[in-house]
Chains A and B, each alone.
Chain A
Amino acid sequence: MPRTRIRFVPALLLLITAVALLQFAPRVSGQAGAPVFPSTSTGEWPHYSGDIKGSRYSPLDQIDATNFNKLEVAWRLKTDNLGPRLEYKLEGTPLMVKGVLYAVGGTRRSVVAVDAKTGELKWIYGLDEGRRAEVSPRKLSGRGLSYWTDGRGDERIVFVTIGYRLVELDARTGHPVPSFGKNGIIDLKEGVVYMKDKPLPLETGEIGTHSTPLVVNDTIIVQSAMAEGLRYEYSVNAKGLVRAFDAKTGKQLWRFNTIPYPGEPGNETWENESWEWTGNVGVWTEMSADREAGLVYLPVESPTIDIYGGNRPGNNLYAESLVAVDLKTGKKRWHFQLVHHPIWDYDAVGAPLIIDATIDGKPRKLVAQASKQGWLYVFDRLTGEPIWPMPERPVPQSNVPGEKTSPTQPFPSKPPAYSRNYLAPEDVIDFTPALRTQALENLKKYRWEQTPFVPAVIPDGKIFGAINVANTMGGVNWPGSGFDPETSTFYTQAYNSQVSATAISPEYFKVLDPASQAKHRIPIWESQHFGKEESFGPRGPSPLTEGLGGLPIMKPPYGVVSAIDLNQGVLRFQVPHGDTPDAVRNNPMLKGLDIPKTGQQGIVGIVVTKTLVIVGDPMLTAPPGRPRGAMLRAYDKQTGAEVGAVWMPAPQSGNPMTYMVDGRQFIIVAVGGGTYSSEYIAFALPQGEIKRTTDR
């Protein structure tokens, strides 16, 4: 055999191998040529939502309906030792770039980098912030982190600490990047104000975020959040804002004030100068962007004192609005207020969805905002014009002193709601005639009207509250939704049965009353009650559920997975999500009845793949035939049929995501709660089940 031929064969093999590697392996930065950026199209997951469009979509298809039930635990990452105490509320979604998985975890909100194939720890970073973290309104591990690269080898992990500091870490080492901010850190409390222009105290001032910064090109956009709204006794608090920073240096590029100042459009919607003392109006969930249009989309939350607006008459822009701002300048391009003069805690929540669709034969650029109130608000994302009519309709008015309810609210005419937003008579519990009779009797003690906009009441001994559906934890919440960009189909899990009896107790009203508030224009951290705040409300079981044996007053399905075709604006399917809760299945009042699958109460996020919608149960159950636990479920994207499920030791607590490394697709999800401390679990098919034809 000639020597040249011997050399040729290995050379050919090398060439074939090299071509194969280039085609199938994740792309590698830091090489000559055009910069390379990670993407879900290469099996990576470089943003919280997969991309900056909020899609939560990956085109991976190795795991499908035929093999989902064969998934096994590939590795797991327990977060017990990532902070000083155990954590039971891990809400993170990791990122995966070039074979390395980055995640937050633990009560310190530590950042870890692990081998995405095995879970082996590469590095860990944590910042001890002392009292500043102890008094933070947004504690625990948060929802994740962000990734920036120049595409040529400089890679950084970006996240916000519990104490509201923006940190950049070298993705390879976990060390802060010295050239960013001050030794890798920017104090985000600097520049935040309350009242007219008082600087926020750096230690005790109330502001933070659980959500992830949005990285678009070389810009990092950071949101703001305050304490959860139920606790508020003070109109005064930090004012919401969104800021942009240069990803390389940390230099602030712009800020957008969610409460407009005098002279700015929208300030007139704060009557009686109430813009001055009002706080919050943060952006506490994920944001999105349209890179080509140069627009960033901000889902804005409620102002201070969620359920009473007597201290802030007017529509209160940009509270509970979707706002589009310029990526380069932060200037507002358009806004749409979803709820005027907010008093229902209908924060705009979850990443706005940047979807392209074909409507009436024309290609349209959409932004769709999911909501607690079950409606998907759909707009032309360049102009803010509603795609389908959204007429203003009269709504019930408040009888609470000082409250000036908006006379109308926008009602989306299309698409239909993906979850309930009022308690219809036909949706009252009806497992048995006796239960229904009891429930209807209970409802006589409440202000009960068939609209999402029933205002809170002050209980008077006859009326105990207002029946609200979905106003705190219902519909879609921070986990957001997702979509398939190929079919323009929206997918979401939604809590379909959250009923509140909203009341302002006479004791609480004495605190909220505008005359009382006017005497105490101070924020909570200046109060003698700081750290010793009291809440107000009934102390016994609610009369709303009296005689119902612990069963929800609203009938199933309690939680659903819904799909909406945005080309048509129609609901494609709505199916119950989750096994029937034990509290229903084992309920003595239902003994002998055949209870169908009810779905579960709760809010959980999805991931969408080539063929599946994947989401875990929000609740533990112990049905016959399997151990106590929760299931990670797969639904057929076309029909909503459940096509597979795998067992988890605890409910889903953070949104799942999927990625591929070395030809093996993984699904990773955060679980925990109750007595089960949090962990990430990575699932994959056994090596022998992997279909080599789909390897990348």
Chain B
Amino acid sequence: MRRRHFVTCCIALCGAAALVASLRAQPAPTVWDGVYTEDQATRGAALYDKECGQCHGPAGAGGGMATPLVGAAFSANYDGQTVGDLFERNRTTMPPGKEGQMGGQENADITAYILKVNGFPAGEAELPSQSMALKGIQYLAFKP
């Protein structure tokens, strides 16, 4: 009885260790892993034109007052951060005068479009709309 209990414990421990190891082996996703879909970016483009483009210019090219959402300065702001940081910045401060009024899905769609115009590839799954989940996606300027 005691021996059987010992064996069960060993198996359970080995199983747990294997699970931890497999979790550790799973690298954190990055913006290079296709973290949004083309459809989502298309929806985001339409929203961007309505909510962002008047200040940030077409496709994030920048305007007189608002900074570009593409290029070296933008890349430097988020390189090494997470998509959640970008999402949160948009959610809490954009667009000025209507901060916090857009829904999570709309923000996620616009974020997907920003990823697209910055040259990151589309994939099979949509970008989620919870910032905590997005914090798990690394923003890396260059492909690792």
Contacts and interface: CB of A to CB of B under 8 A. Distances in A.
Interface of A: 85-88, 133-136, 139-140, 227-231, 345, 347, 472-473, 477, 500, 531-542, 550, 552, 581-584, 586-588, 600-602, 618-622, 628, 651, 673-675
B66 A228 contact: yes
B97 A534 contact: no
Given A230-B54, A533-B50, A587-B142, A473 B62 contact: yes
A583 B75 contact: yes
A140 B96 contact: yes
Contacts of B58: 535-539
B55 A540 contact: no
A621 B76 contact: yes
A601 B71 contact: yes
Given A86-B92, A228-B66, A537-B57, A583 B72 contact: yes
A139 B97 contact: yes
Contacts, number: 142
A582 B76 contact: yes
Contacts of B57: 230, 472, 535, 537
Contacts of B65: 228
Pick the 6 closest A-B CB pairs, nearest first. A537-B58, A674-B77, A535-B53, A231-B54, A583-B72, A581-B72
A552 B93 CA distance: 28
A86 B76 CA distance: 20
Given A231-B55, A628-B80, A618 B73 contact: yes
A87 B99 CA distance: 12
A136 B97 contact: yes
Contacts of A602: 73
Given A539-B117, A675-B81, 20 more contacts: A86-B92, A230-B63, A472-B57, A472-B64, A473-B62, A473-B64, A533-B50, A540-B117, A541-B117, A550-B72, A581-B72, A582-B141, A583-B141, A588-B143, A600-B72, A601-B72, A618-B73, A619-B73, A674-B81, A675-B89
Nearest to B67: A673
17 contacts: A85-B93, A88-B89, A228-B55, A231-B63, A473-B63, A533-B54, A535-B53, A535-B57, A537-B59, A537-B61, A540-B116, A582-B75, A582-B76, A582-B141, A587-B142, A602-B73, A620-B76
Given A88-B89, A582-B75, A622-B80, A540 B59 contact: yes
Given A583-B72, A583-B141, A228 B93 contact: no
Interface residues of B, number: 43
Nearest to B52: A535
Interface in B98-130: 98-99, 113, 116-117, 119
B72 A472 contact: no
Contacts of B143: 588
B72 A586 contact: no
A621 B72 CA distance: 10
Nearest to A88: B93
B144 to A, nearest CB: 11
B5 to A, nearest CB: 52
A570 to B, nearest CB: 31
B54 to A, nearest CB: 3
B50 to A, nearest CB: 5
A228 B97 contact: no
Contacts of A534: 49-50, 53
Nearest to A89: B67
A85 B90 CA distance: 12
Contacts of B54: 227-228, 230-231, 533, 535
B57 to A, nearest CB: 6
A537 B62 CA distance: 12
B72 A535 contact: no
Nearest to B113: A539
Q: Which of B53, B59, B73 has the most chain A CB within a 10 Å cutoff?
A: B73
A140 to B, nearest CB: 7
Contacts of A538: 58-59
B49 A535 contact: yes
Contacts of B63: 228-231, 472-473
A546 to B, nearest CB: 10
B63 to A, nearest CB: 5
B119 A541 contact: yes
B85 A619 contact: no
A85 B80 contact: no
B79 interface: yes
B77 A620 contact: yes
B96 A139 contact: yes
Contact of B50 (A136, A228, A532, A586): A532
Contacts of A500: 61
Contacts of B77: 620, 673-675
A539 B85 CA distance: 23
A384 B73 CA distance: 39
B35 interface: no
Contact of B64 (A87, A229, A532): A229
A103 to B, nearest CB: 20
Contacts of B93: 85-88
B45 interface: yes
A85 B62 contact: no
Nearest to A598: B72
B59 A542 contact: yes
A550 B73 CA distance: 11
Contact of A583 (B53, B59, B71, B117): B71
Contact of B72 (A531, A539, A552, A675): A552
A117 B62 CA distance: 38
A539 B141 contact: no
A230 B96 contact: no
B112 to A, nearest CB: 13
Nearest to B97: A134
